[in-house]
Amino acid sequence: MEGGPTSHTAILARSAGITAVVGARGAAALAEGQEVIVDAASSQVIADPGPEQLAEAERRIEQRSAVQAAPVTPGTLADGTPVPLLANLGSPDGAQHAVELGAEGVGLFRTEFLFLSSDRAPSVEDQTAAYTELLKAFPGKKVVVRVLDASADKPLPFLTNDEEENPALGLRGIRALLAKQEILEDQLTALARAEAAAEADVWVMAPMVSTVEEAEQFTELASAHGLKTSGVMVEVPSSALLAEPILQRTGFASIGTNDLTQYAMAADRLLGSVASLQDPWHPAVLRLIREVGAAGQVTSKPVGVCGEAAADPLLAVVLVGLGATTLSMAPAALAEVRYELSQHTADSARAAAAAALGATSAAAAREAAREALATQHAQ
């Protein structure tokens, strides 16, 4: 497959629970019927594996099956520290399945599905109906809704400018919504009406925030429409570095590690040629996440992670060690992340995070975190 580990192809595979490795060099040379091991955890495709490799793969498959079959419980560390595990959803259709898999709410509800199939924005009434359907699946639980995120790979004729030479760095996310504020205001109106018609705890967040002023504008607009909890997505280095003043002015932050990695590493997440740079384990990305986690602690504001990084069980532990208070992921990943968190304490998570931060590459950071957790277990 082309693309990187946070490309839309990879996200769809993870959502469906399909083991996949993207950007695998030499994959085209594999022959029909050739035996391979696809190891997503280590980003490897092993051709013609030997007996020991096959036995290890079978052991891990059995372990994964046991984890998937385990009783659903709230996300907690081994010392009882709660880490709510939430679902990433792209439409109301997957809500019930997420609940069955143990989602404790929704950490990222992408609203683009309502906008992408039309040449004009949906009405307030149509949006209200869709949001209400979702919210009713999570009575009494937190549902974090991201307002429309039109971007380079999701152009909208009524919002985005097709003539931009580099739309990934142009008028996208909250910039586009503030430029055509009536679309944002209709969406906030619909969300407020849906919240009044259901029993979920609605949180609303703005995408691609890069300045303190954008955070202030969005927070004020959300409040004016009666939405009590609003926040921002941290997807670019500027908002990570400005996390403390941003959180002083808004309710929460949710880290979108897919775009944060893309912009920090200057590596297009849709290009397989730079897939090796699209790794949220890179210490440069982890240090930006640490900035946001630290700002959350200073301001006593929640900091979630809703990018694909949260679905990596080992990295999920590190993210908690960096200050994440909730993790949101494709529902298919909930069981394995829940199990991994339950094996480690908060102190262990912080030790693993510190070890990863001290590395100089993504691979070294992953291995350092693994060794740190093994050392903690041995003590």
Residues marked active site are found at: 8, 306
CA atoms within 13 A on the CB side of 73: 15
Nearest to 206 by CA among 175, 182, 228, 249: 175
Longest dimension (CA), the chain: 64
String of DSSP letters for 71-134:
PP---B-TTS-B--EEEEESSGGGHHHHHHTT--EEEEEE-GGGTTTSSSPPPHHHHHHHHHHH
Beta-carbon count within 10 A of 215 CB = 26
Task: State the Cα–Cα distance between residues 35 and 370, nearest whole angstrom.
Answer: 29
Is residue 345 a contact partner of residue 372, using CB atoms and an 8 Å limit? no
Q: What are phi and psi of 106, to 5 degrees?
A: -120, 125
Is residue 313 a contact partner of residue 336, using CB atoms and an 8 Å limit? yes
Nearest to 109 by CA among 200, 37, 6: 200
Residue 277, C-beta contacts closer than 8 angstroms, at least 6 positions apart:
265, 266, 267
**Angle formed by the axes of helices 257-265 and 283-299, to 10°?**
130
Tokens (6 digits) for 362: 């993504």
Task: State the Cα–Cα distance between residues 34 and 72, nearest whole angstrom.
Answer: 37
Is residue 200 a contact partner of residue 140, using CB atoms and an 8 Å limit? yes
Task: State the Cα–Cα distance between residues 123 and 190, nearest whole angstrom.
Answer: 9
Task: State the Cα–Cα distance between residues 24 and 1, nearest whole angstrom.
Answer: 7
